[in-house]
Amino acid sequence: MNLMFIYFMLFFFSGFYVFLSVRKHLLLILLSLEYMVLSLFFLIYFVFSLYGLMNFFMIIYLVFSVCEGVLGLAILVSMIRFSGNDYVFSSFMLC
């Protein structure tokens, strides 16, 4: 169990590192956030399967993560239509 937990934490913190280090493009930020959400989902699945708990919470978690991804893509598409690129700092200059 400890080795799997270490792997899941490694997956999460590698996504967190990419989130902190790559701040130029919004698409890369969204991909790193989705990677962190996916690693947390695998951690929740692993813990729930260990203790035999209900899997209903995982379905709710997946629904919210999909909604978060769709919202991020909608913001990305509207930003590209408005400014022509997905640079994060160019969108802050417009505000």
Q: Is the CB of residue 44 less than 8 Å from the CB of residue 59? A: no
pTM over 0.95: no
In this prediction, residue 92 carries a pLDDT of 56
At 71 the pLDDT is 92
pLDDT tens per residue across all 95 residues of the chain: 688 888 888 999 998 999 899 878 888 888 999 999 999 998 888 888 888 777 788 888 899 999 999 998 898 888 888 877 777 776 555 55
- Cα separation of 3 and 79, whole Å? 41
Ordered structural domains, the chain, with CATH: 2-94 (1.10.287.3510)
Report pLDDT for 77: 86
Q: Which residues contact 87 (CB under 8 A, 6 or more apart)?
A: 24, 25, 26
In single-letter form, the type of residue at position 65 comes to: S
CA distance 24 to 48: 37
Cβ–Cβ under 8 Å, residues 72 and 30:
yes
* Residue 88 and residue 72 in contact, taking contact as beta carbons nearer than 8 Å: no
